[in-house]
Structure 1
Amino acid sequence: MKSILIPVEDHVMMDAVMAAALMLARRFNSYIEGVAVGPDVVEFVAADFALSGVVLDHRTRRDFVDHGRRTFEGFMEGRHVERPRDGEARPSYGWLGDSLVSDSGVGEYGRAFDLIAVGRPGTGPRLPRKSTLEAVLFESGRPVLIAPPEPSSTLGECIAIAWNGTTDTVRSIAFAMPLLERAHDVVILTVPGPALPGPSDEQMARSLRRHGAPARVGVIEAKDESPGAALLATAAALGADLLIKGGYTRSRLRQLIFGKVTSEILAEANLPVLMAH
């Protein structure tokens, strides 16, 4: 995880996103790059928003970019992260260009990075947009780190895996191997509900132990909770500071992209979530 991309936008969770990315960067001496992101005209029309001069006005778009750059660079400088230097293995940062990039553009550019960090999406004012998460998850081919509203004090020390047998979960696990190998505890939790054909949780745990990951099987106490709530409650009880989950789907339509468990986690998770599709 030597390179991390952060789509920068004016939302209330921006510091939490940058803090999560920086924790990873300190562990792997990664390069972090910021890019100003915002919805373009086509995305506004598709979402049935009222168009305004804000979208089309060049000066306003430039102001968004300048504000994003100041936010990103101020955060990094305030935590003593410097620009890259040849031959030095340490966290560093940079900024991409002077233009506002669309969600789809960030998804495409993200293919050049090992990981993309975004905020947990919401529907209220000044919350991260779900369209940004969808774009980077489905168009980059890279794992996405979804930061919760409040920054965690650790990341990757105790990792929970939401196991359901899907290929998307396997991809997420494969992308997360550098973290799994360094974790102090890795707990595989089988998501309540119908199981798909494939390896059992114990077989997956054995596979991870061959890589040196301290993997074991845990149990979700579903009780009267929904599967997503039960999974999050169990992860919290374990002290997990990262949840690994597949970004699976039964439909290619955007409005049906996320299954029920995934939607619950995206709405309620208070720990970082790593997903891939």
Structure 2
Amino acid sequence: MVMKSVLVPIEDNEGAQSILQTALVFARRFGSCLEAVAPLPLIDNYIVGEMVPLWPPAQTGTGDSSREALLLFERFMEEHDVHRRERASQGPCWAMREGALLGDSAVAAHARVFDISIVGRPGSGSAGPRLSLLEAVLFESGRPVLMAPPAGLSERSTIGETVVIAWNCSTETARAVAMAMPILVQARRIRVLTVEGATVPGPSGEDLVRRLRLDGVEADAVTVTPAGMTAGEASLDHARAFGADLMIKGAYTQSRLRQMIFGGVTSHILANATLPVLFAH
């Protein structure tokens, strides 16, 4: 069980360095090949994804924009001694898809043949990573998404050694756990976290622990009371206290519209996570 093929949609914006740093740490951990693509958003990506009429950032031309993003990726990999795929005998490597992918749905379609995609945590302005890109890959690729924290990671950072599974008994989280098994089988510590009052009918955290044990994956189960916090706040607070370097979360058990109006765990984590989060829907 491995995660060898990793898609890295890269745009030359404020989140680019955090995405590249997270991708590097992930590739070194799992011996992955990172393939960069340059998305070019369409105007409806902004309107539908962000739900506000944002105009795409000024560009000097589609060709120039995609080349700048791919050059940024190439320089970063060379500076960190990661070799091109054709020159790498073992360990992490990289490749690029020449030209741009027009629209977030095109990126999501391309992601269907990769083990995982790495994107940035969405920002509130137009200068950083876009929620519309993350959601397109999440909903349309059928593959998991790894969200990079905005502060990035150092070369000494880890991913997937100390893992919190944000377990709410849902179909979405069950799918996220299944997709994350190549990571879980290599983890040192795993905590199955349930927040009281934030679940749907389904198997308990203890049930999941017993299931993981059949695959040789050791974990423990904890249920916490929010104690004045929201479920999202309690989840991130526990992950920090546990020293987690990765959270696994099923995305949008409640609908996006409902979360936009009333709030929700996914929305809170999308806006506030400071550690990498693996999402699946």
Output the TM-score relative to the length of structure 1: 0.91
2: distance between equivalents of 1:106 and 1:258? 30
Distance (whole Å) between structure 1 residues aligned to residue 192 and residue 134 of structure 2: 25
- Cα–Cα, structure 1 residues 243 and 83, in superposed 2: closer, same or farther, change >3 Å? same
Which structure 2 segments of 5+ residues have no match? none
Quick check: 1:250–1:259 contact (8 Å CA) kept in 2?
no
The alpha-carbon deviation at position 9 of structure 1 amounts to 0.8
- The aligned runs of 1:58-69 (5 Å cut-off) are 60-69=61-70
Task: Kindly indicate whether residue 215 of structure 2 is the aligned counterpart of residue 211 of structure 1.
Answer: yes
Q: State the match for 2:110 in structure 1.
A: 109
> 2 CA distance for matches of 1:98 and 1:42?
21
- In the alignment, which of 16, 24, 27 is matched to residue 25 of structure 1? 27
- Residues 64, 100 of structure 1: 8 Å contact kept: no
Q: Which moved more, 1:191-200 or 1:233-242?
A: 191-200
> What whole-Å deviation, never above 9, does each CA across 1:206-226 have from its counterpart, x for those lacking one?
111221222101232421111
In structure 1, the partner of 2:280 is 276
Equivalent-residue separation in structure 2 for 1:225 and 1:258 (angstroms): 15
C-alpha root-mean-square deviation of aligned residues, in Å? 2.4
CA distance 1:136–1:94, shift in 2 (3 Å): same
Is 2:177 aligned against 1:177?
no
Deviation per CA, 1:198-243: give whole Å up to 9, x if none.
Answer: 2111110111122122210123242111111111001100000100
Shift of 1:196: 2.1
Q: 2:228 aligns with which of 224, 228, 240?
A: 224
| Letter aligned with residue 91 of structure 2 | R
Contact kept, 8 Å, 1:37 with 1:101, in 2: the verdict is yes
Q: TM-score, normalised by structure 2?
A: 0.89
- 1:85 maps onto 2:73 in alignment: no
Note closer, same or farther for the CA distance 1:226–1:105 as it changes in structure 2 (3 Å cut): same
SS of the counterpart of 2:98?
A: coil
Corresponding residue of 2:38: 36
Q: Which moved more, 1:132-141 or 1:97-106?
A: 97-106
- The residue aligned with 2:170 is 166
Q: Say which SS state the counterpart of residue 109 (structure 1) adopts.
A: helix
Q: Superposition pairs for residues 113-192 of structure 1, below 5 Å?
A: 113-152=114-153, 153-192=157-196
Q: Which has the higher mean CA deviation after the structures are superposed, 7-16 or 168-177?
A: 7-16
Give the % identical residues: 46
Q: Deviations over 1:81-136 (max 9, x none)?
A: 11113883321111112224311110010001000000110112421110000100
Distance 1:154 1:108 in 2: 29
Read off the aligned partner of 2:28 and give its amino acid letter: R
Residue 252 of structure 1, CA deviation: 6.9
Distance 2:57 2:239 in 1: 45
Gaps of 5+ in 1: none
Q: Which amino acid aligns with 1:30?
A: S
Deviation string 1:151-176 (CA, Å, 9 cap, x unpaired) is 23111111000001111101100111
1:243 paired with 2:247, answer: yes
Cα distance in 2 for partners of 1:160, 1:218 equals: 10
Distance (Å, rounded) in 2 between the aligned partners of 1:219 and 1:196: 14
1:9 maps to which residue?
11
Q: Structure 2 vs 1, CA of residues 150 and 42 (structure 1 numbering), >3 Å: closer, same or farther? A: closer
1:39-78 equivalences under 5 Å are: 39-44=41-46, 46=48, 49=53, 54=58, 60-78=61-79
